[in-house]
Amino acid sequence: MTAQPHDFVPGETPLPEKNLRAIRAALTIPQDREAFDAGLKAVLDEVRVSLDLGALNAFVHRWWISACDSVRDPEGRRQMHERAAHVLAGGPRSEGKPWRQILAASRLDA
């Protein structure tokens, strides 16, 4: 099973194509673009050594999901990076529902 962008409603902003150029263009948050660029360099180095495109395909898929999220909710992406920076700087984490509980509830709604 692969992850797919959820809550896509036709007629809203179209999702980016699943290629490197479109994915990078859809990443509106600087931290996402920086991580994408660094990750792309690393995965291309890996592919040069291994001659296995599987790592590149996985990279494209993971970043396409992030690009879809960025297109649908750029403010949410910005807030996510803000919260992550806050926690990494030693700030308190806000406690919410565990992911397993959120996923279980979403499966019940489906």
Q: What is the mean pLDDT of residues 91-96?
A: 72
Percentage of residues in the chain having pLDDT higher than 70: 85
The reply to whether 10 falls in a domain is: no
Question: What range defines the domain where residue 81 resides?
Answer: 20-109
The reply to whether 9 falls in a domain is: no
pLDDT tens profile 12-66: 779 999 999 999 999 999 999 999 999 999 999 999 999 999 999 999 999 999 9
What pLDDT does residue 2 have? 47
Q: How many CB atoms lie within 10 A of CB 36?
A: 20
**Are residues 18 and 60 in contact, defined by beta-carbon separation less than 8 angstroms?**
yes
What pLDDT does residue 1 have? 42
Q: Give the global pTM.
A: 0.71
Number of domain units in the chain: 1
How far is CA 70 from each of CA 8, 16, 51, 95, 110, rounded to the nearest angstrom?
A: 13, 10, 31, 24, 24
Residue with tokens 């007629």: 11
The reply to whether 3 falls in a domain is: no
Burial zone of 27 (CB within 10 Å; 0-12 exposed, 13-18 middle, 19+ buried): buried
The reply to whether 56 falls in a domain is: yes
The radius of gyration of the chain from alpha carbons, rounded to an integer in Å, stands at 16
The reply to whether 83 falls in a domain is: yes
